[in-house]
Structure 1
Amino acid sequence: MSILYRLGTRDSALAMVQARRVKTLLEKICYDDKIRFEIVPLKTIGDVQTQVPLWQIPGEGFFTKELDTALTEKSVDFVVHSYKDLGFTRPSNFCLAAVSRREYPYDILLLRTESAQALLKGQWQNKEFIIGTSSPRRTLVDSPFLEKYFSLKNPAIKVTTKNLRGNVPSRLRKLLSGDYDATIMALAGLERLALNDQEALPSLEALTYLVLPLSECPPAPAQGALAIECRSEEKDKNSDLFKLLTQLNDRLARFEIGKEKEIFHAYGGGCHLPLGVYAKSFDDFYLINSRGVVDGKTVLQRDIFPTYQVIEKRDPSPLFVGLPQEKGKHLLSQYQTRAIVLDRLLEKRPIVDAKVTSIGNKIFYITSSYCLLALEQSNFYNGDEIWSAGVKTMFSLFKRGYWVHGSASLMGESELVELSSSMFLSLFKGKHLPCYFFSHSKAQTSLGKIVPCYEHKIVPTTLIDHDLSNVKIFYWTSFTQYKIYKEHFPEIIDNPESFHACGLGKTFKRMREAGVMVTPFFSIEDFLERFQLS
């Protein structure tokens, strides 16, 4: 006798894609040909009432209530949700059987290419830049960041938002028709459509994009993941259905999203709370990045757990910060309660004959402001995709007239590895584009070809008068810097009392691989704020 399991889902194009994907995965892991799965599409109030912002619709569960009813009444056996649509508290008769692997948690700004060019040329003066969205978080977190960014070339610009609801294709068509200057969407949803229902997307030929940096624009909790729920009785009796569903569970995504949901709930956690929360595990740490507005007050929480090495905050010894004199001198006056020693050993000297041999579309990854000279003096940039290593470099590039498509501002190169495989992003310029990595002469990357833009040179006189004898706390800006200092000051660097710190990206990875006990920080500023005397 055959067994039929009914999968409940919203009937939107994206939700149907997600449901078909889950159905396909279940069919692959189910070896019993007598078991079948059927998708049951359901229309929710959130799908019907698209003319008003969600926050104006009374009650909660705009995209879940009808699915909850169907599951309770047993007209379906399990349901698939976009996990970000689910509240923190769920009915006691439901069980979260699985959380899917998380994909592309980013927000993405989509706009017409002509609008991007006008922004680059400083032509968006004294008028509004209207972003279509119904999300309070995108209104109060993403939009202020974009206003700050665009104002570098357009000082009088005012970024505002206007209600935009509906399914993904209809929102894109409204953008293309000029109803809005831009829209912000979840990259994960666009990716699923690009992979599974590309015909549903209108032509993207007239558009370009900016993947918003996770460090500045954290997503909604659980953005990018699916939640699969069944009735609790299935878990209680450890049914065949429950055992099948749990095989789709991603333990890491479940852990990270659990942290996000806890923090969101602690702030009040209503479905319209304008708060982004992002948790990410790496090595044996995990980070929390939260931004938003709660009860009229700005929320900014950036933490990394756990911290294995603890240095007494009131230790009066100087701090070493691996910035050169010209880039770090502002820190000497900004943080006056503790001595700061900057990098006087190494000079970064430009290499101006950078070469790129590929023709056609390319991707440029700019790791530092020291690479800007090589980019500007070259003649091989032709409107190619540009990505930056951090937000500061992203701002510098935009100010110089380059459209930046995204910034690996939180986790560094590992973010680019993930984004480089995006089907949706490939619809703009093509797949498998050659990547050029603008960095220093000894840099390493798995992404493509290194374009050496500067080299590290030792200042001979510094070897004599660079006093590190009292320094016990070091913040390294690159693994190369650490290695050179270790070579010339081994007794100080190898001191068992030394505390080593760095950012979250490749420097951290390479130092851990080299066996260095290093503690990661979001930024130099976060490091200094921790160790300054109160």
Structure 2
Amino acid sequence: MADQILIKIGTRGSPLALWQAEHVAALLERRNPNVKTELVVIKTKGDKILDVPLAKVGGKGLFVKEIEESLLDGRTDMAVHSMKDVPSEFPPGLCLAAIMEREDPRDALICSRAKGLLDLPPNAKIGTSSLRRSAQLLALMPDLQIEPLRGNIGTRLDKLTSLNLDAIVLAAAGVKRMAMDDKVSEYIPEETVLPAVGQGAMGIEIREDDPVAGPLARALNHEPTQVIVTGERAFLKRLDGGCQVPVAAHGRLKGDFLQLTGVIAGVDGTPIFRDSVSGKKEDAKELGVKLAEKLLNAGGKAVLDELLDH
């Protein structure tokens, strides 16, 4: 019998992060009978600061930096992240080994009384700390009152009642993974609110030169998702966008062709610039950059410059 291999997986401690890490652990053990996994829970800066909207905390990698440090110092062998939390640059010595098959990338609306977005009352109070979500919602319904909302899914659901909100917006993927989809009033179409870059996809980060974790992680890569998310991330990297700016991008694969749609918006939803590009899937990175340039030239640059000056 082959020697047993222990793989330590770094993860945040939220119920969703643990679900994601356990999902990867189960896949690794099922595919490799000689692999045993152990979860290592790490508290990140983003987990510690819960009373401030993400856009105001600033900096990239709020939910990954401490986990990356555990990879670099050998406490862990793999890290499982939500791709929308992963910065476009990796620390020297680390790399992304796999992007796993994507769950539903849309946003989910959970209402206290209304049936959906268009059924909300005038001046409805909506909970979200995402500038991307609030800007696109305000572009559609300028009278909405946006209330800051942080914490894990359970905490946010509790706040729907405790803060007397009309609705909250969450990532559909997280709601589905937590088996809470019965609470969803409406899945917001991408035409209405474009998802975050990488939303719904999970990534596995490793040390670049790890001869054991490398092949194990790469075997979990889902090529269609990788192509799409690569294009979306190239768009974000060109814009240099973190949590502080209302930008969004979403890709779709049609055969060998990738279509990418992107948004740059002002914080209050005006102005808002939206456009699409398409091309061969092997040119995913170039397409992401092309889309970013298109939106910057259309007026997006002035919006981002103003936001980053504040």
Q: Where on the TM-score scale, by shorter chain, does this alignment land: which range?
A: 0.7 to 0.9
Q: Say if 1:90 and 1:297 are closer, same or farther in 2 by CA, change over 3 A.
A: farther
- Looking at structure 2, the residues matched to 233 and 41 of structure 1 have their Cα atoms a distance apart, in angstroms, of 23
Residues 461-502 of structure 1: CA deviation (Å, up to 9, x unaligned): xxxxxxxxxxxxxxxxxxxxxxxxxxxxxxxxxxxxxxxxxx
Given that 1:130 and 1:159 are in contact with CA atoms closer than 8 Å, whether structure 2 keeps it comes out as yes
Q: Paired residue for 1:369?
A: none
Residue 90 of structure 2 aligns to a residue whose secondary structure is coil
Runs (5+) with no aligned partner, structure 1: 149-157, 307-534
- Looking at structure 2, the residues matched to 256 and 220 of structure 1 have their Cα atoms a distance apart, in angstroms, of 13
- Looking at structure 1, the residues matched to 208 and 115 of structure 2 have their Cα atoms a distance apart, in angstroms, of 50
The partner residue of 1:30 within 24, 29, 32 is: 32
**1:190 matches 2:182:** no
Residues 415-435 of structure 1: CA deviation (Å, up to 9, x unaligned): xxxxxxxxxxxxxxxxxxxxx
Q: Paired residue for 2:132?
A: 137
Given that 1:275 and 1:294 are in contact with CA atoms closer than 8 Å, whether structure 2 keeps it comes out as no
Task: Give matches, 1:215-254, under 5 Å.
Answer: 215-234=191-210, 239-254=211-226
Task: Give matches, 1:5-154, under 5 Å.
Answer: 5-32=7-34, 35-112=35-112, 114-116=113-115, 120=119, 124-125=121-122, 128-145=123-140, 147=141
- Looking at structure 2, the residues matched to 22 and 117 of structure 1 have their Cα atoms a distance apart, in angstroms, of 34
Residue 276 of structure 2 aligns to a residue whose secondary structure is strand
- Looking at structure 2, the residues matched to 304 and 119 of structure 1 have their Cα atoms a distance apart, in angstroms, of 31
Q: Paired residue for 1:387?
A: none
Q: Paired residue for 2:287?
A: none
Residue 101 of structure 2 aligns to a residue whose secondary structure is coil
The partner residue of 2:160 within 168, 172, 175 is: 175
Residue 115 of structure 1 aligns to a residue whose secondary structure is coil
Given that 2:46 and 2:62 are in contact with CA atoms closer than 8 Å, whether structure 1 keeps it comes out as yes
CA shift for structure 1 position 70:
0.8
Asked which structure has the greater RCO (Cα within 8 Å, sep 6+), the reply is 2
Residue 157 of structure 2 aligns to a residue whose secondary structure is helix
Give the letter aligned to residue 11 of structure 2.
T
Give the letter aligned to residue 276 of structure 1.
A
- Looking at structure 2, the residues matched to 94 and 111 of structure 1 have their Cα atoms a distance apart, in angstroms, of 41
Q: Say if 1:23 and 1:50 are closer, same or farther in 2 by CA, change over 3 A.
A: same
Give the letter aligned to residue 115 of structure 1.
A
CA shift for structure 1 position 218:
1.3
**1:303 matches 2:288:** no
Residue 266 of structure 1 aligns to a residue whose secondary structure is helix
Runs of 4+ in structure 1 displaced over 4 angstroms? 117-120, 294-297
Residue 98 of structure 1 aligns to a residue whose secondary structure is strand
Given that 1:77 and 1:230 are in contact with CA atoms closer than 8 Å, whether structure 2 keeps it comes out as yes
CA shift for structure 1 position 178:
4.8
Runs (5+) with no aligned partner, structure 2: 281-310
- Looking at structure 1, the residues matched to 58 and 251 of structure 2 have their Cα atoms a distance apart, in angstroms, of 30
CA shift for structure 1 position 294:
6.2
Given that 1:87 and 1:271 are in contact with CA atoms closer than 8 Å, whether structure 2 keeps it comes out as no
- Looking at structure 1, the residues matched to 130 and 184 of structure 2 have their Cα atoms a distance apart, in angstroms, of 21
More helix by share: 2
Residues 185-209 of structure 1: CA deviation (Å, up to 9, x unaligned): 1000111111xxx6xx9xx6xx551
CA shift for structure 1 position 297:
4.9
Given that 1:267 and 1:294 are in contact with CA atoms closer than 8 Å, whether structure 2 keeps it comes out as no
Task: Give matches, 1:476-491, under 5 Å.
Answer: none
Residues 335-359 of structure 1: CA deviation (Å, up to 9, x unaligned): xxxxxxxxxxxxxxxxxxxxxxxxx
- Looking at structure 2, the residues matched to 29 and 116 of structure 1 have their Cα atoms a distance apart, in angstroms, of 43
Given that 1:93 and 1:232 are in contact with CA atoms closer than 8 Å, whether structure 2 keeps it comes out as yes
Given that 1:130 and 1:181 are in contact with CA atoms closer than 8 Å, whether structure 2 keeps it comes out as yes
- Looking at structure 1, the residues matched to 58 and 161 of structure 2 have their Cα atoms a distance apart, in angstroms, of 31
Residues 392-449 of structure 1: CA deviation (Å, up to 9, x unaligned): xxxxxxxxxxxxxxxxxxxxxxxxxxxxxxxxxxxxxxxxxxxxxxxxxxxxxxxxxx
CA shift for structure 1 position 263:
1.2
- Looking at structure 2, the residues matched to 280 and 117 of structure 1 have their Cα atoms a distance apart, in angstroms, of 25
CA shift for structure 1 position 58:
3.9
- Looking at structure 1, the residues matched to 127 and 116 of structure 2 have their Cα atoms a distance apart, in angstroms, of 19
Compute the RMSD of aligned alpha carbons.
Answer: 2.2
- TM-score, normalised to structure 1's length? 0.49
- TM-score, normalised to structure 2's length? 0.83
- Looking at structure 1, the residues matched to 191 and 118 of structure 2 have their Cα atoms a distance apart, in angstroms, of 23
Asked which structure has the greater CA Rg, the reply is: 1
- Looking at structure 2, the residues matched to 4 and 303 of structure 1 have their Cα atoms a distance apart, in angstroms, of 44
Q: Percent of aligned pairs with the same residue?
A: 32
- Looking at structure 2, the residues matched to 64 and 119 of structure 1 have their Cα atoms a distance apart, in angstroms, of 36
Residues 305-360 of structure 1: CA deviation (Å, up to 9, x unaligned): 26xxxxxxxxxxxxxxxxxxxxxxxxxxxxxxxxxxxxxxxxxxxxxxxxxxxxxx
Q: Paired residue for 2:147?
A: 162
The partner residue of 1:209 within 167, 170, 185 is: 185
Task: Give matches, 1:509-528, under 5 Å.
Answer: none
Residue 79 of structure 1 aligns to a residue whose secondary structure is strand
